[in-house]
Structure 1
Amino acid sequence: MSTAMRRRLAARCGPPDSGSAVVEFVFLTVLLMVPLFYLVMTVSRVQAGSYAASTAAREAGRAYVTARAQDSAEERAHAAARVAFEDQGFGPADAQLAMVCDGDPCLRPEGRVEVTTTIVVPLPLVPSFARRVVPLDVPITASHLAVVDRFRGER
């Protein structure tokens, strides 16, 4: 093959490093997709915690004010909140439930019960040794005010 022919062939085919675009594309895709994937995982986990906290507060309040007796009201509220937390993948160690009545007894007609739930959402894929140094948890709190039925005693 003559040198003139090689020059014409090189002019048609382009420079010898023309295959590096694929490598650059893969590198940039990985560089951008890994943080984006982590961001989506983190936001979805925090959203699940937010939904679990608000649902647990609402359902615990409803369970409390619909109880027939004061003895079982708190137990029903804790069971309802536990179901709401477990539905979103959170255990009892991650969540807290607090209830405050506006008077005594709590289950009187038009009595108000404020239920507050707090859940601690750990950020995903963070090793435990890093959690000891830097707090990598997101605390989420939700409240619900439940009112006892006005005609409760007239059934």
Structure 2
Amino acid sequence: MTPPTTPRAHRRDERGSAVVEFVTLGVLLLVPLVYLVMALARVQAGAFAVSQAARESGRAFVTTDAGQDATARARAAAAVAFADHRFEEVGTLELVCDGTPCLRPDGRVRTTATVRVPLPLVPAFVRDAVPASIPVSASQVSTVDRFRVLP
């Protein structure tokens, strides 16, 4: 005598499939989330870099002593700020004075730092086809001391 066939007997054995589904869905959802966190962390580092570069280069420019090159000093301060956040190659600095000479008493100097943050893990052939960087910039207006003696 054969055992009676029931609908349950015709079902396939699904033990262990929940683990496989969990791992598959977990990886599919976790990989983009990790990439997003990496990209946002790099953009935040770029924001810190341009903020620090604009502030420090403006401060270095307006506190330059007579006989020193103010522009070179400001660019050196910005280079240090970019290097702190590993943006040496992609950071730029723009200096604009509101009059001539730049270092006159109560003169204002606008420093604008810009960096193009490359997205992480993007291959070179994709960078050539689509823009794979995010521009971030910050500006700072620094004022020369009112009681500064002109050289």
Common fold by TM > 0.5: yes
Distance 1:80 1:150 in 2: 23
Which consecutive unaligned segments of at least 5 residues does structure 2 have? none
Distance 2:90 2:71 in 1: 19
The structural deviation recorded for 1:18 is: 2.0
3-state SS of 1:117 partner:
strand
The structural deviation recorded for 1:117 is: 1.0
**1:48-81: per-residue Cα shift (whole Å, max 9, x none)?**
1111011100100000000002642111101110
Given the alignment of the two structures, is residue 26 of structure 1 paired with residue 23 of structure 2, yes or no? Answer: yes
Given the alignment of the two structures, is residue 69 of structure 1 paired with residue 66 of structure 2, yes or no? Answer: yes
Which consecutive unaligned segments of at least 5 residues does structure 1 have? none
TM-score when normalising by structure 1: 0.86
Q: Which position in structure 1 is the counterpart of 2:57?
A: 60
Distance 2:118 2:56 in 1: 24
3-state SS of 2:55 partner:
helix
3-state SS of 2:69 partner:
helix
3-state SS of 1:62 partner:
helix
Q: Which position in structure 1 is the counterpart of 2:147?
A: 151
Given the alignment of the two structures, is residue 89 of structure 1 paired with residue 94 of structure 2, yes or no? Answer: no
- Runs of 4+ in structure 1 deviating by more than 6 angstroms, as ranges, are none
TM-score when normalising by structure 2: 0.88
Aligned positions, number: 146
Aligned-residue CA RMSD in angstroms?
Answer: 2.2
Alignment of 1:107-122 (within 5 A): 107-122=103-118
Q: Which has the higher helix share?
A: 1
Of 48, 51, 60, 1:51 maps to 48
The structural deviation recorded for 1:16 is: 2.7
Identity score, percent: 57
The structural deviation recorded for 1:95 is: 1.2
Q: Which amino acid aligns with 1:150?
A: R
Residue 70 to residue 58, structure 1, CA distance change in 2 (3 Å): farther
